[in-house]
Amino acid sequence: MNELHRLIIAASGFASIIGFAWIALAMRAHWQRVKPSSPLSPVRQRRLRLQGALSLALSLALCLSAEETGMAILLWAMYLSLGAIIVALALAWHPRGLRFLLPADTD
């Protein structure tokens, strides 16, 4: 396994985690725990959902580019599970830690 292959696999995992974080932040309850001082606008909510979906699709594309189809789907499924667990734990223990995924300017 060469260095580029490892990098692509790692990028796929990070894309999965970030995708789930953006999808979670598109929910008002999670948004309020992360950014209690600013309301979640409908535009920002749609943008976060779209970013999350695109990030999960990127995760799949990276898996498919690094592995054969069967292994790529299995790897992506594991990254989906891992990403969901990591984001759930982050929201439970330190929700404001997800602020780095948001732009400085809020709607």
Alpha carbons 52 and 58: distance in angstroms, whole number: 10
pLDDT the model gives residue 98: 86
- pLDDT for position 107: 46
pLDDT of residue 61: 97
Asked if 95 and 78 count as a contact pair (C-beta separation under 8 A), the reply is no
Question: At 103, which amino acid appears?
Answer: P
Q: Do 44 and 105 touch, CB atoms closer than 8 A?
A: no
Number of Cβ within a 10 Å radius of residue 31: 23
Q: Is 63 exposed, middle or buried (0-12, 13-18, 19+ CB in 10 A)?
A: buried
Q: Tens place of pLDDT for every residue, the chain, 107 residues? A: 699 999 999 999 999 999 999 999 999 999 999 888 888 899 999 999 999 999 999 999 999 999 999 999 999 999 999 999 999 999 999 988 888 888 765 54
